[in-house]
């Protein structure tokens, strides 16, 4: 049972455009929602994270939007650059006695010049 | 560089064999997590140790086992290997039991032939 659904599976964006990746979750006990970025041959690296008490968090060109009632959150990459080409994973962490992250299946982003 | 060291980087072995993957967490981190990454399943949580004790178990097969030693490094043992065990195995570490700030190693790519 996949508890975090991520879409799209792959995304091609022109340089300078906005990349948007969406995730939806089912478990209302989730209380921490990070995004990880993974380059080929590397491990995932924490990019940005949000807690459900805020609706938006911005760090540089990266923004998380969070909709608690819809149980959805998304990553927006503004002014996308070829160096942003990577696989992005959303994840969720439960506050109810569980310590492991549940990951979405990932989105492969390609930013073309 | 995340500070998490995994060895070996690549491993090729035959079906039925047993292998050991090693992880050294970031200095000061007490929690170690193991994840399996395959193309169709994404990142799957296997097991977590905190300060030498098992804290959480995910979808880890009975043929797989892990431990965390007094110096906090961890080993993941995979036995009776099958073709389907071919995957990337990641170790992550964090200071707390709850991995809101987990750092991933570069992974071990296991190929079972």
Query: Contacts of residue A104 in chain B, CB cutoff 8 Å?
Result: 42
Contact criterion met (CB < 8 Å) for B90 and A44: yes
Cβ contact B78:B62 at 8 Å: no
Q: What is the mean pLDDT of each run of 10 residues along chain A (113 residues)?
A: 86 98 93 94 93 94 96 97 97 78 93 96
- Under DSSP, the state recorded for A107 is E
Place of tokens 């650059």: A81
pLDDT in tens, B19-53: 999 999 999 999 999 999 987 778 999 999 999 99
Chain A nearest-CA distance from B110, in A, is 13
pLDDT at residue number A2: 58
A97, A100, A106, A112: CA torsion to nearest 10: 110
């Amino acid at each position: 049972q996949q508890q975090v659904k991520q879409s799209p599976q792959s995304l091609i964006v022109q340089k300078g455009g906005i990349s948007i990746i969406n995730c939806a979750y089912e478990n209302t006990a989730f209380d921490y929602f990070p995004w990880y970025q993974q380059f080929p041959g590397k491990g995932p690296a924490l990019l940005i994270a949000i807690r459900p008490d805020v609706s938006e968090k911005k760090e540089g060109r990266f923004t998380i939007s969070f909709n608690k009632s819809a149980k959805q959150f998304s990553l927006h990459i503004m002014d996308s650059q070829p160096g942003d080409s990577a696989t992005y994973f959303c994840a969720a962490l439960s506050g109810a006695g569980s310590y492991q992250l549940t990951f979405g299946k990932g989105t492969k982003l390609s930013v073309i010049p | 560089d995340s500070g998490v060291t995994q060895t070996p980087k690549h491993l090729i072995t035959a079906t039925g064999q047993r292998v050991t993957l090693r992880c050294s967490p970031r200095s000061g981190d007490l929690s170690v997590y193991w994840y399996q990454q395959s193309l169709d399943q994404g990142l799957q949580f296997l097991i977590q140790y905190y300060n030498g004790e098992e804290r959480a178990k995910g979808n880890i097969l009975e043929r797989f086992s892990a431990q965390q030693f007094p110096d906090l490094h961890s080993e993941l043992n995979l036995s009776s290997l099958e073709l389907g065990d071919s995957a990337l195995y990641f170790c992550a570490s964090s200071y707390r039991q709850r991995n809101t700030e987990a750092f991933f190693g570069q992974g071990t790519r296991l190929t079972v032939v």
